Structure 1
């Protein structure tokens, strides 16, 4: 595409002054920025160049300990996200997600009173829901069971945000909770997603239909509150287990301190039933989990033993060790036909997936860099912009599942230092322009042929404008993931190594280095030369 740069001089000047094209301003006398704007009109040309794009295999494994599940990064942050569910489709195969957490007492040596008996125990999960879709039901004739109190019960139901086959089996999944048999170590220990702690006792289960509910129960006589539960999934657990494991251990060493307790009651596993391998994935917020035990004990009031109900909340958040466990079965999946990780000629299809799945690697081709270097040296061609354009595969990924938005990608720049050790950092464009820089643009994401442009102008210029030969840049490449860069408590990006990969449910098939495909991945370079 050829056009007259003079016609848009004013717009580009404003952009330069605003910092958007800072990377085009060099100190040398023949700098590309000066060539573009000084002494007359300049012709601009957009040309495409081939790239080497390939799958990076992460062995379906990623760190998923408490630190890597954080979704806000700060020294005191406990805000986190985890995934549950299962999803199976032909391109990527089967994926299942489970969750482990330690349990702690609210305080050491709890006193449950005299003749304490557990009424009920519930584990509450707080999934991510669509708050703008609410269904409300009211029971005006409800009888509250503790004391047979006439009451009104209002239940507000919200659909869980799902990734996968949301309507399979009516959206039904069965969640189960089990006691962990292995000691799970501490919150600062590293855990990977292939770590499946052993379990022993089945504690409870609940079939969900893809929704979460809030509950408010008020007394008919004076409208005072009898019971309130925020939006969540409430899984009933075994009262007899907690009677034996907790209440009956009153005053004994097992409940005396944290160290003893996390070895006595080692934790919980939350998962789907073993036979469930398809449905959907959903996210929930571990730091909002609740484990509540309701019990009654003796209490004399005016000589009468009233035995009131007491609510006891365990700690299943914060300083507890917790981690995610991911299972994959890719037998027969199409990914096996394309995801070879060929760093020499590239792969024809790119299978990007969060939660330990593949990343995308992209390298510049020597022969294409040689062409650009020749243009720069012979014609003083000023690189105005450079972007990697990648399309979703409209044949292999012709699915109802959502295409990524511009916010669903991370891109970092890889290289090797003088000692041969791989280095990682933000792209040079990001470091040059700062956090306000948007590295990727998304187009037509509501169609099966979406495409994405990743800006790599500065990174390309650093190679083309230098005297470096191939051996100096052959180890440079870009790594793209379906994830988000995480932010700190101030709202700024925390760092290149803080991403949501550990709990990113997305997956997409892209067109890679396939010369026969009109949508093959390409480097689009716009450069200007004087007339």
Structure 2
């Protein structure tokens, strides 16, 4: 079972809205129009029709600021289809209270950064040390350490399963929590002088230390990855600034200590994720209390999570990869292969060609064939994508290009007509995934109402569909924290989903239902005749 951190960083949850997305082994007809099949009232026919499917470039950039970043990603992954991706994470830190008093003669003992990657909680290795000696006071104790494998995407055994995590001080102001930031921007940081470096071996660990004498707790930590940061930096930037303007208020402090950048050294390996709201930064120091003659150890906890800037930084190098030439697709005739990648990578566009709509209108007008169900079926490419995990979550929205506008935004985006009008229908699912453990897997996207609106429009109410299209992305729609509804078409996990896949696209030379090419993307329409 995959463990996901419960503390949400944004107001959105990644919980799937009930029934809207389903993983199934067998296809199911939409409940829309299913009454036509009851008691043999209609003859059902499913026919595959052409669509135009093409690659859509997003310029390898996406909004990745605090309002979009449900999970932070670090790592590097290089493979032949999509090329190289490196992911880093920027964050601010703040003081829990301003104008702090650290006591007299304060000296930093250690600074610990804790990140908590998602991990498999049902795969644990426990190591117990009955003869452990707690270093502060040489206290006889017992240490119990639980080790869990982190969830990884990519080449999990590359570099011996290790990534070298590096932390740098940010030198450029990161703006405010509510400001927009994009994933391809690299903020200035001190590249030559990392303030922390440690190998991550692919596992997270929880630790519990108890006294031998009375079993009292001396130390405990949740499962995570802990690394030391520079004592000197925090001595000069924090402790030595006691009473000075830099620590007096939040505006001064975030310009004095502008933030941290967390990244990896390697150019290939895997991606790992953690919740920004669970990152911890602890400073241990010793100082003299008033009237005391000996220094005592103290702990100072910085504020990292809510209210701080969080930015995902994703850098791509697609040279020599299969997707290099697919960044800009052919929206007129379609592309043979479709490359979809989250975190700013490609999207997939799908249009209804005139020939398909004309055929369906003829059926409706001449044979009284009503559309019962319509799905866009898309298969993973058997040869190009058969090694890495297949996505179980994707989104689909409808877009309308208004050519009458001469300025401003010409494209309107929204949920599909099916999501807008039919989401409360029993058994409705905007997408179903099939055979994810097989090759190829395939996906059905429900477009019944969207197609019916075009094909079955009354005279005088016809829809100009020539500039309408669907856009498919990796990730899932996020649910509002206030109820069982999606927060909006623009709120998805696309900014931090690690998924990617190659799909079979449009072959403009292939006639309908050519049995030699069974995996081409198609519109599959079930219609009934009374």
1:204 aligns with 2:196: yes
Backbone CA RMSD of aligned residues:
2.1
Post-superposition offset of 1:48: 0.9
TM-score, reference length from structure 2? 0.88
2:225 is matched with which residue: 226, 230, 233?
Answer: 233
Q: What's 2:86 paired with?
A: 96
Rounded Cα–Cα distance in structure 1 between residues aligned with 2:39 and 2:439: 46
Q: What's 1:10 paired with?
A: none
Q: Deviations over 1:454-487 (max 9, x none)?
A: 1111111100012479981111111111111001
CA contact (8 A) 1:382 1:528 kept: yes
The runs of 5 or more residues in structure 2 that have no matched partner are: 1-28, 511-515
Post-superposition offset of 1:445: 0.7
Q: What's 2:44 paired with?
A: 44
Change (3 A) 1:470 1:279: farther
Post-superposition offset of 1:170: 2.1
Change (3 A) 1:193 1:39: closer
Post-superposition offset of 1:138: 1.0
Q: What's 1:510 paired with?
A: 503
1:317 aligns with 2:305: yes
Post-superposition offset of 1:38: 11
1:348 is matched with which residue: 336, 339, 354?
Answer: 336
Rounded Cα–Cα distance in structure 2 between residues aligned with 1:67 and 1:340: 28
1:268 is matched with which residue: 253, 260, 271?
Answer: 260
Change (3 A) 1:526 1:20: closer
Q: Deviations over 1:367-419 (max 9, x none)?
A: 110011011111111111111111000011121x11122xx111111113584
Rounded Cα–Cα distance in structure 2 between residues aligned with 1:38 and 1:183: 65
Residue aligned with 1:305, SS: coil
Q: What's 1:9 paired with?
A: none
Q: What's 1:176 paired with?
A: 166
1:374 aligns with 2:359: no
Q: Which has the higher contact order (CA 8 A, sep 6+)?
A: 2
Residue aligned with 1:254, SS: helix
1:252 aligns with 2:244: yes
Rounded Cα–Cα distance in structure 1 between residues aligned with 2:31 and 2:116: 44
TM-score, reference length from structure 1? 0.88
Change (3 A) 1:521 1:37: closer
Rounded Cα–Cα distance in structure 1 between residues aligned with 2:398 and 2:256: 46
CA contact (8 A) 2:51 2:521 kept: yes
Q: Count residues in correspondence.
A: 485
Post-superposition offset of 1:159: 0.6
Change (3 A) 1:453 1:260: same
The correspondence of residues 10-409 of structure 1 with structure 2, limited to 5 A, is 21-22=31-32, 24=33, 36=36, 41-69=41-69, 80-200=70-190, 201-273=193-265, 276-299=266-289, 305-399=293-387, 401-405=388-392, 408-409=393-394
Q: Which has the higher helix share?
A: 1
Residue aligned with 1:336, SS: helix
Runs of 4+ in structure 1 deviating by more than 6 angstroms, as ranges, are 37-40, 468-471
1:423 aligns with 2:395: no
Residue aligned with 2:375, SS: strand
The runs of 5 or more residues in structure 1 that have no matched partner are: 1-18, 26-32, 70-79
Name whichever of 322-331 and 196-205 sits farther off.
196-205
Rounded Cα–Cα distance in structure 2 between residues aligned with 1:38 and 1:213: 57
CA contact (8 A) 1:174 1:207 kept: yes
Post-superposition offset of 1:82: 1.3
Change (3 A) 1:225 1:152: same
Name whichever of 82-91 and 335-344 sits farther off.
335-344
Rounded Cα–Cα distance in structure 2 between residues aligned with 1:296 and 1:233: 24
Rounded Cα–Cα distance in structure 2 between residues aligned with 1:520 and 1:512: 6
Rounded Cα–Cα distance in structure 2 between residues aligned with 1:164 and 1:512: 24
Residue aligned with 2:529, SS: strand
Q: What's 1:443 paired with?
A: 434
Q: What's 1:411 paired with?
A: 396
Q: What's 2:19 paired with?
A: none
Rounded Cα–Cα distance in structure 2 between residues aligned with 1:281 and 1:265: 28
Residue aligned with 2:432, SS: strand
CA contact (8 A) 1:338 1:348 kept: no
CA contact (8 A) 1:173 1:207 kept: yes
CA contact (8 A) 1:351 1:508 kept: yes
